[in-house]
Amino acid sequence: MLTYFIRSVAFRHLRYSIGQSLLTIGVVGISVLLIIYLWTVISGTQERITQNTTGAIPHITVEPPERTPVGAWQLTALGQNTDTLYVGEVVNLPKAREGIEDWQLWLPYLDGVDSSLTTVSPTVSGQAFMNRGSRQQSVRVLGVLPERHNGVVEIEKNLLEGRFLTMVSGDLVLGRKLASDFGLKMRDKVRLVGPEGLTLNFTVAGIYNTGFGQIDDGQVFVTLRDGQSLLELGGSISSFGLKFADLYKAESISQKIAPTLPFKVRSWVIDNPNLFRTLDAQSQTRNLILIMTTIASGFGIASILVMVVTSKYREIGILKAMGATPGEIKQIFVLEGLLLAIVGCFVGVPLGVLLLKGLAAIRTVGPDGRVDAPFLIIIEPSVLIGASIVAIVVGAIASYFPARRAGQVDPIQVIRGA
């Protein structure tokens, strides 16, 4: 319990040692600012790298299993006849016409695989030729349910003109570069020729620019039904694409659901192992930097308080001679450290927020002409609160050791030395 005596002495020390107090507050404030800045900027950089790499792909893909024929020599019944020689090889059959036929029955199950799931998009995909006048080019056709697939790739947000979510049969949505190559504008007509020679006519209903080359340069979107017709898949789909709020859970979820599905389940981690290792290393680096920043701030606070204790030996000796106990002396200096840390937080948090808002306002023009923010800044209250708690705890710990030293001062020796 802090008595009036402890509080009054602590406040008096802080008031009369204003220079040392301001220095300590500055150390704490800069430490809080650095923790907020480093955590937010490094996390934003990770998020930007992740978006640029996985923003155009599902986190989990569910596909038909590969068809692997069984050789006659692999059949148990025939293999028992050792007098027969079987010659041949096992090859995987092409997947061009494979599909998930009963996908509508599996959709409700996939919708409930995890609470962090944001969307499940049934798609049909395949190569086709896009023709307009004398120009012909191979493109990747994606037949989708727009409202679901927009959760995998945000086409609607990146539309330059037209529509995507309200796309209907006969509509086609494509990237700006592909539209420019063909000289296409809104409501222009274009022909798609499927792999089996089926030709369908489409009307340009939207032009987008996502910044992902694989989507903008050689891919077109049509409705799911049109895609099934063009690729002659009947009522089947090529795959499901699953997207999650936390993409790092994708691998564990894929391993969990794989045994329950008669399909091939693959997460983005399997397709991008180097990226996953890079992001993990970056996370470890961020944590190490934050730990070192916290330790440095602790030493800064402790060193300043040691100076305060050393300069206050005479006053401490007089206080003890007047009856102050070692416990009360320790509480005085611990209280000083806590007060300085708290005030430092009130300085560091607003400065950190101002710095982050300044970085968030910066805009640059990329090589594709897109105006974008180089820093992805998301100011999270939990980071602000966490940085403050860390600073206060470090301040309390750092102030304990000088306070303990102050409590051990011998008043007789101090007074004699004076």
Q: What is the pLDDT of residues 306-335, one digit of tens each?
A: 776 676 667 777 777 777 888 888 888 788
Q: Would the pLDDT of 55 be above 70? A: yes
Please report whether residue 268 resides in a domain. no
Please report whether residue 355 resides in a domain. yes
Q: How confident is the model at residue 370 (pLDDT cuts 50, 70, 90)?
A: low
Please report the pLDDT score of residue 85 as a whole number: 57
The DSSP line for 195-207 is: TTS-EEEEEEEEE
Query: Does residue 102 sit in the same domain as residue 247?
Result: yes
Please report whether residue 101 resides in a domain. yes
Domain boundary (228, 262, 296) is at 262
Query: Does residue 391 sit in the same domain as residue 284?
Result: yes
| 108-133: average pLDDT | 93
Please report whether residue 337 resides in a domain. yes
Q: Backbone dihedral region of 239: left (phi > 0), alpha (psi from -120 to 50 degrees) or beta?
A: beta
Query: Does residue 195 sit in the same domain as residue 287?
Result: no
Please report whether residue 239 resides in a domain. yes
Query: Does residue 121 sit in the same domain as residue 255?
Result: yes
Query: Does residue 133 sit in the same domain as residue 236?
Result: yes
Please report whether residue 269 resides in a domain. no
Please report whether residue 320 resides in a domain. yes
Query: Does residue 120 sit in the same domain as residue 219?
Result: yes
Instruction: State how many domains the chain has.
Output: 2
Q: Would the pLDDT of 84 be above 50? A: yes
Which residues constitute the domain of residue 134?
A: 65-262
Query: Does residue 35 sit in the same domain as residue 118?
Result: no
Q: Half-sphere exposure of residue 69, counting CA atoms within 13 Å on the CB side?
A: 10
Query: Does residue 44 sit in the same domain as residue 81?
Result: no
Of the candidates 120, 121, 124, 78, the one whose C-alpha atom is nearest the C-alpha of residue 101 is 124
Domain boundary (239, 262, 285) is at 262
Query: Does residue 90 sit in the same domain as residue 223?
Result: yes
pTM, to two decimals: 0.68
Taking a C-beta distance cutoff of 8 angstroms, is the pair 119, 148 a contact?
yes
Query: Does residue 94 sit in the same domain as residue 228?
Result: yes
